[in-house]
Structure 1
Amino acid sequence: MTESVVRALYGKAKSLNLSSKKINVVPECISRLPNLSVLLLKNNSISTLPNELLYLHHLVELNLGNNALKELPAVLGHLESLKKLYLFSNQITAVPPDVIDGLQNLVVLNLNHNHIRRLPPEIKSLTRLRHLSVLDNQLEEVPAELGHLTSLTEINFTSNNLPSLPVQLYQCKELTKLHVARNKLTSLPEGIKALTKLQVLDVAGNKLSMFPVEFDSLPLKELYHEDNRFVRCEPMSSVQDVEVLMLKELAARFVLQQDRDMSSLVHRMLPYYPPLPELLANGSCCALCLNPFLTTWLECVHFVSVNKETKIRSSKTIPVRAFLCSYKCFNTEGHSYYSVAKK
């Protein structure tokens, strides 16, 4: 190790590789390498970092994978030029908000194989982040602030304890790869259809019963969905409830219908009643008649054949959720929507 550091000092090196050197302490003399841009320290026994790293103003890549860190050292939050940070295979249990706040130029963050249960809301500061990987941790939730990371192209939350994903995920419109296999997901956010660049989706080993509305419109090239609890097409008798709509629903349907007409009085007056547009934003459209409604009258499913060019494990046909506005639509002939049996 000493020879590597000495050569770097004399050569005013821009990169230094101290990986697999059996060290447990980072040499403080590294601070005398102000032009250092790449520092590789993986496969050692490092448990702390010296404050002298503060002087590495040009450090772009730091690899601390496979060490003995139990927390993210505070000094990391001062490495403002850092773009790639690898912290895989440590013993980290938490991600401090103050450290995340100082890494606003980060492009790659790898926290694989640790013991992290939560990501802080302050993760929204990483607006340039493109690759986020927290594989094989103990994540129990993902903050809604993930939606602020609009530069993300790849997310890997495989092998965690996630029961759901935030609906704000649909704001990450640059996303091309989403890996959430082996979690506890019972559904995917309905807004996922907005991820028009998504090419790879891995949801294997969850508790999904069907995919979200218009899921089949995504341009997927790879889909992995084995070992879920998807509904099956097994016809059985059913009893229809009496079709009674609440006054709120009737009024909402009328307003939503009128709002489609740009010249209508309702459309022109809505901006003067701010709470109404916010409420009506949660509305949807009937899969058959296309008329708007506020709440779901009938949740259905249709079985969609996946594009032949898509690499897919298990069945080539997947169940996709659909909403119908009434039994009147459901009872019309010529459609392929099925009501979902409740157990």
Structure 2
Amino acid sequence: MGRKAMAERQLLRALRGGPATRSIALTARRLRHLPRSLGNMKALEELSLRDNSLRRLPQEIGALSRLKVLNLGNNDFEEVPEQVKFLVSLQKLHLFGNKITRISPLIFDGLQNLVLLNLNNNQLSHIPPEIHRLENLECVSLDNNKLKNIPKELCCLQKLRELRLSHNSILALPEEIKYLTKLQILILSRNKIEELPDGLCKLKKLKVLDVAGNNIPVFPTAMEDLELEELYCEDNPLLEKNPVRAIQDEDILTLKELTARFIYCQLGNKNIYLQRALKKNQQAQHMLSHKRKCAQCGCCFLGMWLECVQFRMKTSRNLDLLPVRVLLCSYKCFNRRDHGLFGIAVP
């Protein structure tokens, strides 16, 4: 008996378990097709078809209204099969190790109970923004794909706790990542990220951050606010300590900057007349809302600053001091002694 015939016989034997069967595992059986009778297994809750040669699913699989776990890993799918959108009870979908290059936005019309989506080791270069419809997602894993960016709509997944995006070609993260307030694990290793957004530092529940093997020279200013338990940042071109005094001692500020700094100072002194005047000028209010604060003297400024780094202690097994981005209002503040700040030298 040939292997194909044997696999088909094993499949039929599993189906003979009757409509009350709750779990079927048909792994590594060299299956290329599934019988339509699979749709008759109304009580089925778990179906594992990993390590076969499947390219498509029968339409009848959509009748499995109680199915909670579907494992299609290590098959030959070139796109996420649209039939899965009819699986209204599905909680875990595994599609790792296929040849998937696209996801139809129609997939996200269903799957409202999906908690885990595993698309590791595929050839995806784009994630449809419609992914935000999967409101109950807690874990998304997209390691080893061809992604260059992350849609900002993914940051609308309010229940997301784990996001894995290692070994892609991601250049930057959206500032909207700050809205993933329940995120605990963020894996971004082996990408092409050059800068982490400030919004990342607002993820108060983040415990594990892996940005190893990127192009990051310095971390965001509020990095210390994160209560990380694990931080991986090796193989990045992190800035190093090399004390150099600035040649320039004085700043030439624009009239706009001088005015803004004067107003910030007066507001700090509770100038009631200036406060009243600003309430009548919304344009000035909007402009002044973009203020920054000097890490050295504490004074506020608007649009002219020196970008520096400060080496601070972080929780990490592989690195004790991290370069964190800070801003100074003037060369005068930079040239003060013993402040622990370093300018960014251009080679």
Q: Please, what TM-score do these two structures have when normalized by structure 2?
A: 0.88
The Cα shift of 1:279 comes to 5.7
2:23 corresponds in structure 1 to 15
Query: Residue 4 in 1 paired to residue 14 in 2?
Result: yes
1:335 corresponds in structure 2 to 339
Query: 1:296–1:323: 8 Å Cα contact kept in structure 2?
Result: no
Query: 1:182–1:205: 8 Å Cα contact kept in structure 2?
Result: yes
Superposed, 1:222-301 pairs within 5 Å as 222-240=230-248, 243-250=251-258, 252-253=260-261, 282-295=290-303, 297-301=305-309
Superposed, 1:301-316 pairs within 5 Å as 301-306=309-314, 310-313=315-318, 315-316=319-320
Query: Residue 46 in 1 paired to residue 54 in 2?
Result: yes
Superposed, 1:136-175 pairs within 5 Å as 136-175=144-183
SS at 1:77 equivalent: helix
**Distance in 2, Cα, partners of 1:213 & 1:200:** 18
**Distance in 2, Cα, partners of 1:54 & 1:65:** 18
Superposed, 1:47-62 pairs within 5 Å as 47-62=55-70
Query: What's the CA shift string for 1:153-201, capped at 9, x where partnerless?
Result: 1111100001111111111121111111111111111121111111111
**Distance in 1, Cα, partners of 2:151 & 2:307:** 28
Residue ranges of structure 2 left out of the alignment (5+ in a row)? 1-10
Query: What's the CA shift string for 1:125-170, capped at 9, x where partnerless?
Result: 1222111110001111111112211211111110000111111111
Query: 1:153–1:176: 8 Å Cα contact kept in structure 2?
Result: yes
Aligned residues: 337
2:79 corresponds in structure 1 to 71
> Relative to structure 1, is the Cα distance of residues 83 and 277 closer, same or farther in structure 2, using a 3 angstrom cutoff?
farther
Match of 1:85 among 75, 84, 93: 93
**Distance in 2, Cα, partners of 1:88 & 1:268:** 61
Query: 1:155–1:178: 8 Å Cα contact kept in structure 2?
Result: yes
SS at 1:312 equivalent: coil
SS at 1:123 equivalent: helix
Residue ranges of structure 1 left out of the alignment (5+ in a row)? none
Q: Which amino acid aligns with 1:121?
A: P
> Relative to structure 1, is the Cα distance of residues 273 and 115 closer, same or farther in structure 2, using a 3 angstrom cutoff?
farther
Query: 1:66–1:90: 8 Å Cα contact kept in structure 2?
Result: yes
**Distance in 2, Cα, partners of 1:286 & 1:271:** 25
2:327 corresponds in structure 1 to 323
> Relative to structure 1, is the Cα distance of residues 262 and 75 closer, same or farther in structure 2, using a 3 angstrom cutoff?
farther
Give identity over the alignment, percent: 39
**Distance in 1, Cα, partners of 2:35 & 2:276:** 68
Deviates more, 1:277-286 or 1:147-156: 277-286
Query: 2:125–2:146: 8 Å Cα contact kept in structure 1?
Result: yes
**Distance in 1, Cα, partners of 2:57 & 2:96:** 16
> Relative to structure 1, is the Cα distance of residues 277 and 193 closer, same or farther in structure 2, using a 3 angstrom cutoff?
farther
Query: 1:139–1:161: 8 Å Cα contact kept in structure 2?
Result: yes
Q: Name the larger-Rg structure.
A: 2
**Distance in 1, Cα, partners of 2:61 & 2:280:** 55
Query: 2:246–2:335: 8 Å Cα contact kept in structure 1?
Result: no
Query: What's the CA shift string for 1:31-63, capped at 9, x where partnerless?
Result: 112232222111111100111122122222111
> Relative to structure 1, is the Cα distance of residues 273 and 125 closer, same or farther in structure 2, using a 3 angstrom cutoff?
farther
The Cα shift of 1:323 comes to 1.2
SS at 2:326 equivalent: strand
Q: Please, what TM-score do these two structures have when normalized by structure 1?
A: 0.88
What is the Cα-based RMSD across aligned positions, in Å? 2.6
Q: Which amino acid aligns with 2:80?
A: L
Deviates more, 1:202-211 or 1:18-27: 18-27
Query: What's the CA shift string for 1:245-276, capped at 9, x where partnerless?
Result: 34444555566667779996777887887777
Q: Which amino acid aligns with 1:5?
A: L
The Cα shift of 1:296 comes to 5.2
Match of 2:196 among 168, 174, 188: 188
2:8 corresponds in structure 1 to none
